[in-house]
Amino acid sequence: MKDGLLATGAILALAVAPGQVVAQMATEALLSAMVGHESAPVGDGRMNGFIMGFGLREGPFVFGPEFLFQDGDSLRLRAFGLTLKLRQREGWIHPHLVLGVGAYAWKHRVAASPELFVDGPTRVWRETSYVSASLGGGLTLGSVVRGVGAVFEARWHRNLEQNRAAGSRSLIAASAGLRVAW
């Protein structure tokens, strides 16, 4: 109880202290088309998909969740993660570095016998989930403070865990899309 009162008092003291008090962090959202190449023991392949993300900006840092989906003929990936970007704030071209970590569901198509299916053969997928990370860089074009801008990014996604049966997975991907800041 005493700790709660102290914390509440500290917050109120900061709110009435002289100087600038920021009531809300700046926010942004992005949607990008993505193309990539997955490398896995079960096969390699080109994939297409998208990234949706949301970020809170404080100075040169942007932190927030993202959802990624990639689909190919024999490989699929969906992921939910958190990213941290370090972005230059001056000018209209803003280079950035990005680091992400999250839960990745890597899928590959397995052969299915046609006689198992009444309506003929269908796709059967085997899924392996990993904690994975991504590392990359890119450019943000336009104002980072407010409005619509473009985002270009290249990243390497790699699982952090090892699974002897399913092997290691990685994805090299490039994306381009729109970013809205408010």
As a three-state string, the secondary structure of 118-147 is CCCCCCEEEEEEEEEEEEEEEEEECCCCCE
Q: What is the mean pLDDT of residues 38-46?
A: 83
Higher pLDDT, 113 or 44: 44
Q: Which band of pLDDT confidence, cut at 50, 70 and 90, is reported for residue 13? A: low
pLDDT tens-digit map of 48-79: 999 999 999 999 999 999 999 999 888 889 99
Higher pLDDT, 169 or 113: 169
Q: What is the mean pLDDT of residues 117-125?
A: 63
Spatial CB neighbours of 2, under 8 Å, sequence gap ≥ 6 = none
Give phi and psi for 42, each to the nearest 5: -85, -5
The whole-model pTM stands at: 0.78
Higher pLDDT, 52 or 111: 52
How far, in whole angstroms, is CA 89 from its chain's centroid? 21
Residue 8 in this model has a pLDDT that exceeds 60: no
Provide CATH code, domain 25-181.
2.40.160.20
